[in-house]
């Protein structure tokens, strides 16, 4: 068992301790609770919102879009014609729209847009590609409502960051219009557990371990029935030709940091406009500290600046 780090990395804020402490608590519960049921496992991860301050001047509305339930985050004065399609993290098995609505709202507010956070079907009850299919269904439903594809941004964290990347790849396979931008916070892409930082950052990541990922992989890949190199499950094997502008980040001490660096390198090699942000000392999906820690607020501000910059990318018909 890996012991969670107890010393704050040099140069990080005291406020950033909140996320590391939450992860350490989860890791302890997982390690010491034999026979942990899926229901209890999911209830633990629904605490993910705790380090996030409730954003001001944001309302929420539940709805089903394209057959997929979720939560709208509606900042006051936001442009309702521009939408973040947010897919939550949690290894495809845990996490929810409820656990991620505050994070999505912070990003939407900073960008001046609205967000729809999906409660997509989760593994192991619904293995790959159910999650990708739900993302595609919600995207096409938004387009059918009159939202321009280029005004939709797919965004997500961890496994949801995987989906934020996979949904445009699936849309391209179906000759459908692509989103205008893609944002992936600490994406988990490697279904082979081959990343070097799983080893080098094992002692500094407060949550992620190889055994934890192995369990998640078994669920989403149907116990090994699905090839772990399938591009829509593992975008590290995808062809990124014609992919939208991509913003990808990671925390410098997390075990999945090289998932972010590898996808940035692969997409960049295909000519994609890629922005990579690795923030030293930060844990997995550190934007969860939005409204609480300066590192998260600074990162979201950087995403907003990236979002507003002019782009010359040609839209896909």
pLDDT digits 0-9 by tens, 216-253? 999 999 999 999 999 999 999 999 999 999 999 999 99
Global pTM value? 0.96
SS3 (DSSP) at 187: coil
Residues in the chain: 317
Contact indicator for 108, 114 with CB cutoff of 8 Å: yes
DSSP 171-205: HHHTTPPPPSEEEEES----TT---THHHHTTTT-
Average pLDDT over residues 51-74: 98
Quick: pLDDT tens for 258-300.
999 999 999 999 999 999 999 999 999 999 999 999 999 999 9
Domain ranges of the chain: 26-308
- Other beta carbons within 10 angstroms of residue 152's beta carbon come to 27
Quick: pLDDT tens for 142-153.
999 999 999 999
For 26-308, which CATH class?
alpha beta
Please give the sequence-ordered ranges of beta strands (E in DSSP) within 220-295, or none if there are none.
Answer: 246-251, 274-279
SS3 (DSSP) at 139: helix
- The Cα 46–Cα 97 span in angstroms is 9
Least confident of 7-11, 22-26, 134-138, 261-265: 7-11
- Confidence check: pLDDT of 73 > 50: yes
Q: So which residues are the catalytic ones?
A: 158, 254, 284
Q: What's the whole-number average pLDDT of the chain?
A: 95
């Amino acid at each position: 068992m890996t012991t969670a780090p107890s010393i704050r990395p040099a140069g990080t804020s005291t406020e950033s301790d909140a996320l590391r402490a939450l992860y350490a608590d989860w890791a302890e519960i997982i390690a010491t609770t034999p026979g942990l049921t899926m229901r209890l496992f999911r209830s633990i991860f629904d605490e993910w919102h705790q380090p996030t301050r409730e954003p001001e001047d944001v309302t929420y509305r539940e709805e089903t879009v394209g057959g997929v339930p979720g939560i709208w985050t509606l900042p006051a004065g936001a442009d309702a014609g521009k939408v973040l399609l947010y897919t939550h993290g949690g290894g495809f098995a845990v996490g929810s729209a409820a656990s991620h609505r505050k994070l999505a709202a912070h990003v939407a507010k900073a960008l001046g847009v609205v967000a729809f956070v999906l409660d997509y079907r989760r593994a192991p009850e619904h293995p790959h590609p159910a999650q990708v299919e739900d993302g595609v269904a919600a995207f096409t439903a938004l387009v059918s409502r009159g939202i321009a594809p280029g005004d939709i941004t797919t965004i997500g964290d961890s496994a949801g960051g995987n989906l934020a990347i996979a949904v445009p790849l699936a849309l391209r396979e179906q000759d459908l219009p692509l989103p205008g931008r893609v944002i992936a916070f600490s994406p988990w892409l490697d279904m082979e557990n081959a990343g070097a930082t799983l080893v080098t950052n094992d002692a500094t990541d407060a949550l992620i371990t190889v055994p934890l990922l192995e369990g998640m992989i078994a669920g989403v890949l149907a116990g090994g029935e699905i090839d772990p190199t399938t591009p829509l499950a593992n975008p590290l094997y995808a062809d990124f030709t014609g992919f939208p502008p991509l913003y990808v980040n990671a925390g410098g001490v997390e075990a999945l940091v090289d998932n972010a660096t590898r996808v940035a390198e692969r997409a960049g090699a295909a000519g994609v406009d890629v922005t990579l942000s690795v923030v030293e000392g930060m844990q997995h999906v550190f934007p969860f500290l939005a409204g609480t820690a300066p590192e998260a607020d600074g990162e979201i501000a950087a995403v907003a600046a990236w979002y507003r910059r002019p782009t010359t990318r040609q839209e896909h018909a």
